[in-house]
Amino acid sequence: MSAMKSSTFLRPFAVLVSLFMFAAMGVAQSPPTVDISFSSANVGLNLSTTLTYTITNPNPAVDLTGVGLNNNLPAGLIIANPDSLTGSCDPGVITTSTTNLNLVDAVVLANSSCTFSIDVLAVATGNQVNTTDPVTSNEGGTGGTATASVDVVTPDLTITSTHTGNFTRPQIGATYTLTVSNPGVVDTTALIQVADTLPAGLTATDISGPNWICTLSPLGCTRGDTLFAGTSFEPITITVNVGNSAAVNVNNVATVSGGGETDTSNDTSTDATQIDPVVQMSATTTALQGAAGTPVSTTLNVNYNGGLGAISFACSGLPAATTCSFNPTTVSATGLTPVTVTISTTARSATVPMTGLKGIPPSYMPLLAMLGMTALLLRLMQKKQFKMRLATGLAAIMLFALAGCGGSAPVASAPTPTPTPTPAPVTGTPAGTSVVTITANSASGGATAISTINLTVQ
């Protein structure tokens, strides 16, 4: 009977123990959880980032055994070599391959977690999304997955070309400034190259910059050190000479490359440059007129940038018997200087030639004079004999005079031609319109400006 009482007493206790065991087993059925994260939101191409795994046992009183996790990395990531594995989930075993990490037989104590990390290398650009397989355990069964992403990027090189003010034509020692920057979020990883293409008419005489290696041909620079994200290198200075053949509006083109970047859409800078002549000249009046012998003038506005010595002036295309003069004769000051140009013409005059009476050549005029004198002498003489002798002598003289003048006895049937009067020679500036070209030249050569004036002489 006592045995029956003891059995009766132990039966409820066994039931209670069983209930506790079932209760404990019910709590252990909660699976483990997993979380992963990258050490940075961005990683440079061919650079590494750290991937961290955390496995948690949410059960307050039951350890989880046989915990396992498998992770196949996305195509843009691989396990680094060396992998720099740290941490563990004892006594679990972690194995890796190029694109895979696997954990087996780990133990995670109740209400605790384990953590381990490994380095992964970025081998392709873009957003790389890494998702694990479900975490598993003996007691809790299969849990969920974990996801983390990292953006694999490259440096983003840019370049600017700048200058100050307008260049002049010609000019020695004009400069361009080139600046290379990395506005990206990762540092450069390779050699950086800069190339510059000057516009026609400009010749480089020097190119240099701190820590750059530069050459004039081809025109450019290189450097191999790291350009950190968000910073710029020291500027490059290009010194150029501007020739007379340079156009008014030109572009300097600079290009950067290398550094490990992949985005080349912003690698070129175009620097628009205005080139002005070193001396400019314009007349306030481009048409002058006046009578011959009366000077006319206008003002030349001379704008000189300096640097090439005094500017002198000259005229071409002037009509006959015309000169020009300038006041002041030269210009040395920079800026705008008014210069008066005076064009002096010469009054016209004519010499009247000697002409005979109508129908009588001039060569016969001396004979007519002699005949007149002979008639006068005959009138004065009283003796007939003397008159005859005198008349005979005078007739002989006239015949000799006619012969000496190239005359001949007139023929009755041939009329004497009427001679054409010789035009009177004219001196002075002729009437008409001329295009006068005024040229300004620098003392050292190379700088020229031209202005034209229409001159009308009345």
Q: Averaged over 367-395, what is the pLDDT?
A: 53
Residue type for 33, please? T
pLDDT tens digits, residue range 251-292? 999 999 999 999 999 999 999 999 999 898 999 999 999 999
For domain 158-277, the CATH class is: mainly beta
As a whole-number percent, the residues of the chain with pLDDT over 90 amount to 72
> Are 158-277 and 280-347+430-457 the same fold in CATH?
yes
Structure tokens belonging to residue 191: 């050699």
Question: What does the pLDDT read at residue 418?
Answer: 61
Residues 6+ apart with CB under 8 A from 95: 101, 102, 104
Distance CA 426, CA 299 (A): 32
- Give the domain 280-347+430-457 fold: Immunoglobulin-like (2.60.40)
Structure tokens belonging to residue 194: 């800069």
Question: What does the pLDDT read at residue 253?
Answer: 98
Structure tokens belonging to residue 104: 């087996």
Q: Averaged over 327-351, what is the pLDDT?
A: 91
Give 4's pLDDT tier (boundaries 50, 70, 90): very low
CB-based contact 286:452 (threshold 8 Å): yes
Q: Averaged over 301-307, what is the pLDDT?
A: 88
- Write down the domain spans for the chain: 29-153, 158-277, 280-347+430-457
Cα(first)–Cα(last) distance of the chain, in Å? 164
Question: What does the pLDDT read at residue 422?
Answer: 63
Partner residues linked to 93 by β-bridges: 104
Q: Does domain 29-153 have CATH number 2.60.40.290?
A: yes
Q: Averaged over 122-131, what is the pLDDT?
A: 97
Rounded (5°) CA angle 217-221-225: 155
Give 7's pLDDT tier (boundaries 50, 70, 90): very low
pLDDT tens digits, residue range 161-182? 999 999 999 999 999 999 999 9
Neighbours of 279 (CB within 10 A): 22
CB-based contact 101:87 (threshold 8 Å): no
Question: What does the pLDDT read at residue 443?
Answer: 84
Distance CA 220, CA 109 (A): 64
Give 13's pLDDT tier (boundaries 50, 70, 90): very low
Q: Are strands 167-169 and 268-277 parallel, antiparallel or unpaired?
A: parallel
Measured CA to CA in angstroms, residue 214 lies from 221, 237, 257 at distances of 4, 10, 15
Q: Averaged over 296-319, what is the pLDDT?
A: 92
Query: Exposed (0-12), middle (13-18) or buried (19+): which is 215, by Cβ within 10 Å?
Result: exposed
Question: What does the pLDDT read at residue 424?
Answer: 59
Question: What does the pLDDT read at residue 395?
Answer: 52
227 pLDDT more than 90: yes
261 three-class SS: coil
Distance CA 433, CA 453 (A): 10
426 three-class SS: strand
Question: What does the pLDDT read at residue 410?
Answer: 47
pLDDT tens digits, residue range 145-165? 999 999 999 999 999 999 999
Percent helix, strand and coil across the chain, each rounded to 5?
Answer: 15, 45, 40
Question: What does the pLDDT read at residue 6?
Answer: 43
365 pLDDT more than 80: no
Structure tokens belonging to residue 345: 């013409």
Distance CA 217, CA 224 (A): 20
Neighbours of 430 (CB within 10 A): 16
78 three-class SS: strand
Least confident of 10-19, 176-185, 321-330: 10-19
Neighbours of 39 (CB within 10 A): 14
Question: What does the pLDDT read at residue 401?
Answer: 47
Per DSSP, 357 falls in state S
Neighbours of 365 (CB within 10 A): 14
Measured CA to CA in angstroms, residue 182 lies from 158, 191, 442 at distances of 6, 13, 46
Element (H, E) at 368: helix 365-380
